[in-house]
Amino acid sequence: MEKRFIFIFFVLFSFSVKAQYSFTGHVDNEEWHNNVYLSIIEDYRKISGVYFEQIIAKVTTDSLGYFRFTGNQLENDNRIYRIHVDNCFESEQNQNHFYGHCDESKEVIFIAKNNDTIVFPISFEQQIFCDIKSTNQKAKAFVKIDSLREEMKFAFSEFRSEANRKLNTKKWFKTLQDFGQHLNEPLAELYIYSFLSDRGNDLHNHYLEDIKNNDYYEDLLTRLETQYPSSSYTKQYKAELNSDKYIVNGTSDSGFKLNYLLYFLLVVSLSFNLWFWFSKKKNKPNTITKAKEQLTKQEQNILSLLLEEKSNKEIADSLFISLSTVKTHVNNIYKKLNVQSRDQIKSLFNN
């Protein structure tokens, strides 16, 4: 009864605030840290993951685990957003927390605009998100697509033969495209496109064949340019489509101009990588010094012994501490230095 009252209160309060968005939900505080993050996804190749540059707001859950994002700074047109929770520490954000990955995280991807009200169900579990309640019917599009993709995975795994794979590839490729068009939302189609055209996906080869003769991709570009003429999604899709067409056909709409553009981008990329490498090499001594300053005095002692290739038992004997204490300190050193092994420690300090 109490949870139902809070749910109704959030909905009524959200509608009473003009031109503001309101995203509310619930997190199990015993399972997750009480920080909840809201991100805007401007690169549809980075839909899933944890990226520091995408985060636009952070809130803390209350004692019952409820959270609420509100304000009026979002785009007035539909955009792709992510809400996520994780069990990584913010103190690690310069290491692995916001490098696109966190081992323990949960997210929901949705479509929204500045004046939308969305209430997520009383759980932060993906299978429950079909119960999303929103003033924007497009908010559920990604959940529907993910549900269809689960059916596809089952179809591929039912019979693991080459013949079955080919048949399913052709069938599900068309099924996903048609489903995206049926949703009548180009952003949802981009979500499907990013999956079908992913170079790490088994469907990628079929995609390269499909763009040779299928008008679907040009039609999608037209829909994007009509509905989202100035968005980063449209510009990114147009560039990728021209590039992929050039790969399969050897030509593009831009002719030789695309060649020059590719050469220019290659030169810029190489120049940036060289600059980044020299900067990283120059700043490495400072980085190592700062890394060591994170360690306690005892951890620094153990680090010195690790660099001397001492075993845990030898370290315990040298410092007159238990073997379990040594293991705890070693694990803490790994976390603070963002390494996974002794070899990585030696590489960090010996180079």
pTM over 0.75: no
What CA–CA distance (Å, rounded) separates 81 from 22? Answer: 13
The domain ranges of the chain are 2-135, 144-253, 294-350
pLDDT tens across 3-27, in order? 454 444 455 544 444 558 999 988 8
Tokens standing for residue 77? 């047109």
- CA diameter of the chain: 73
What CA–CA distance (Å, rounded) separates 224 from 235? Answer: 9
What CA–CA distance (Å, rounded) separates 216 from 193? Answer: 11
What CA–CA distance (Å, rounded) separates 27 from 11? Answer: 18
Burial (CB count within 10 angstroms: exposed 0-12, middle 13-18, buried 19+), residue 236: middle
Q: What is the pLDDT of residue 127?
A: 42
What CA–CA distance (Å, rounded) separates 276 from 182? Answer: 45
Between the CA of residue 276 and those of 159, 271, 282, what are the distances in Å? 47, 9, 10
Check residue 199 and report its DSSP letter: T
Contact status, residue 157 vs residue 110, Cβ threshold 8 Å: no
CATH of domain 2-135: 2.60.40
Q: What is the pLDDT of residue 128?
A: 43
Q: Does domain 294-350 have CATH number 1.10.10.10?
A: yes
Between the CA of residue 38 and those of 51, 69, 190, 208, what are the distances in Å? 11, 8, 20, 34
For the chain, how many residues are written? 351
DSSP-derived secondary structure for 292-309: HHTS-HHHHHHHHHHHTT
Contact status, residue 56 vs residue 40, Cβ threshold 8 Å: yes
Name, in order, each residue with C-beta under 8 angstroms of 119's C-beta and a sequence gap of 6 or more: 7, 10, 11, 24, 25, 132, 133, 134
What CA–CA distance (Å, rounded) separates 345 from 86? Answer: 27
* DSSP H or E stretch at residue 132: none
Angle at 256 between CA 254 and CA 258, to 5 degrees: 55
Q: What is the pLDDT of residue 17?
A: 47
Q: Which residues of the chain have pLDDT under 50?
A: 1-3, 5-9, 13-17, 94, 126-129, 252, 255-256
Q: How far is CA 173 from the centre of its chain?
A: 23
DSSP-derived secondary structure for 239-259: HHHHHHHHHHHS--TTTHHHH
CB atoms under 10 Å from CB of 52, counted, come to: 13
pLDDT tens across 120-170, in order? 875 555 444 457 888 888 888 888 898 888 888 887 777 667 777 777 788
Amino acid, single-letter form, for residue 36: V
Q: What is the pLDDT of residue 168?
A: 77
Name, in order, each residue with C-beta under 8 angstroms of 142's C-beta and a sequence gap of 6 or more: 80, 109, 110, 111, 188, 191
Tokens standing for residue 81? 């957003």
